[in-house]
């Protein structure tokens, strides 16, 4: 009887634990996957599954750790460079996302000017958007080409705009798409004036942001150089086995751990001080 009561209490406690802990872990995992998927979409890699990207990170980390272990024969050093190798794809995707967003910000005014010209020439709004697949700026042509195909197949302007927003994954694109949606639903003869005002506003915004980014580039480059320098020195030291073997001791592990933590904290602080406020996709 006592064993049965103990079994029942244990099962009850396990159910209570699973009810509170497992959903929280599931929500955290879902949020992490959502952030990764959003970053991949911003980089123009929305078709890449999150699981495949995670496998790429793990593979890069294992390859980097294996190469450094072969050269240095020091596991702590190999693990440190393995972590860096695993983080390398994330850094590449983040850099590509920033470049893509900057490139879109530069060409959106030209695209809106072309759309305004098409509307002024008598084309409907969907036809004007479809024409951007051939007359629009090169970075945006693929997205508008797929929009033209979607509209040709479905004829549903709202759904095609939603798919266009997903493909672009761009804050400026969200504002443009929502403005066009409202203009389509409300109607009226102010579409041309709205497009001209939007084009001028985006040009001024892109010019101001470009000037600020050029001024803060020294802070970003200095932070990256300061963080990369000690690890480059450690990588060169890996070819001297009698020197790098000292990091295999407990003291060496402590030095590596403290150095890595300080580099991460210093880099984050420097980037936070020098960064510009990032525009969020509030209309996604």
Reading phi first (left if > 0) and then psi (alpha if -120 to 50, else beta), residue 281 is in beta
Predicted pLDDT at 32: 59
pTM of the model: 0.75
Q: How far, CA to CA in Å, does 68 sit from each of 11, 44, 230?
A: 47, 32, 16
Q: Which domain holds residue 160?
A: 103-208
In a domain, 65, yes or no: no
Q: Report d(CA 76, CA 163) in Å as an integer.
A: 47
Q: How far apart are CA 247 and CA 168, in angstroms?
A: 47
Distances in whole angstroms, Cα of residue 140 to Cα of each of 105, 108, 122, 168, 262: 11, 8, 22, 8, 41
Give the ranges where the chain is alpha helix by DSSP (H): 2-42, 50-72, 75-120, 125-135, 138-154, 157-168, 171-186, 191-237, 241-244, 250-274
pLDDT of 106 reads: 85
What angle is formed at CA 262 by the lines to CA 258 and CA 263, rounded to 5 degrees?
A: 115
Judge whether 276 lies within some domain: no
**Total domains, the chain:** 1
Segment 176-217, tens digit of pLDDT: 888 888 877 776 566 777 788 888 888 888 888 777 777 777
Token pair for residue 224?
């990256």
Residue 238 lies in a domain: no
Tell whether 200 is covered by a domain: yes
Q: Is residue 189 part of a domain?
A: yes
Q: What is the pLDDT along the chain (284 residues), one digit of tens a residue?
A: 444 344 444 444 454 445 555 444 444 555 656 778 888 888 888 788 888 999 999 999 999 999 998 888 888 888 889 999 999 999 899 889 888 888 888 888 888 888 888 888 888 888 888 888 888 888 888 889 999 999 888 888 888 888 888 888 888 888 888 888 887 777 656 677 778 888 888 888 888 877 777 777 777 777 788 888 888 888 888 888 777 888 888 888 888 888 888 888 888 887 777 666 666 665 65
- How far apart CA 209 and CA 105 sit, in angstroms, is 10
In this prediction, residue 62 carries a pLDDT of 93
Measured on CA atoms in the order 145, 146, 148, 153, is the torsion positive or negative? positive
Q: How far is CA 122 from CA 30, 47, 115, 220, in A?
A: 47, 36, 11, 47
Distance CA 26, CA 152 (A): 40
Distance (Å, whole) CA 156 – CA 161: 9
Whether 167 maps to a domain, the answer reads yes
Residue 31 domain-assigned? no
Model confidence pLDDT, tens digit, residues 218-250? 777 777 888 888 888 888 888 887 778 888 888
175 lies in some domain: yes
Helix (H, G, I), strand (E, B) or coil at 245: helix
- DSSP character for 282? T
């Amino acid at each position: 009887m006592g064993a049965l009561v103990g079994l029942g209490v244990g099962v009850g406690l396990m159910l209570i634990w699973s009810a509170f802990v497992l959903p929280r872990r599931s929500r955290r995992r879902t949020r992490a996957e959502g952030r990764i998927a959003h970053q991949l979409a911003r980089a123009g890699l929305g078709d890449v599954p999150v699981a495949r990207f995670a496998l790429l990170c793990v593979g890069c980390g294992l390859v980097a750790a294996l190469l450094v272990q072969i050269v240095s024969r020091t596991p702590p050093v190999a693990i440190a460079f393995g972590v860096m190798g695993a983080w390398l794809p994330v850094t590449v995707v983040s850099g590509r996302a920033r470049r893509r967003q900057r490139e879109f910000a530069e060409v959106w005014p030209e695209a809106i000017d072309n759309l305004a010209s098409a509307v002024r020439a008598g084309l409907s709004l969907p036809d004007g958007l479809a024409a951007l697949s051939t007359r629009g700026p090169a970075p945006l042509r693929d997205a508008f080409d797929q929009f033209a195909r979607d509209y040709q197949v479905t004829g549903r302007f709202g759904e095609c705009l939603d798919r266009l927003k997903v493909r672009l994954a761009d804050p400026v694109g969200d504002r443009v798409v929502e403005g066009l949606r409202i203009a389509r639903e409300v109607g009226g003869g102010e579409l041309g004036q709205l497009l001209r005002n939007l084009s001028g506003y985006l040009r001024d915004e892109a010019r101001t942001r470009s000037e600020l980014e050029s001024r803060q580039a020294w802070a970003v480059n200095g932070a990256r150089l300061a963080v990369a320098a000690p690890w480059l020195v450690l990588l060169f030291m890996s070819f001297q086995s009698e020197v790098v073997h000292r990091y295999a001791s407990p003291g060496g592990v402590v030095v590596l751990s403290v150095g890595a933590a300080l580099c991460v904290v210093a880099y984050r602080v420097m980037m936070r001080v020098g960064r510009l406020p990032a525009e969020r996709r509030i209309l996604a």
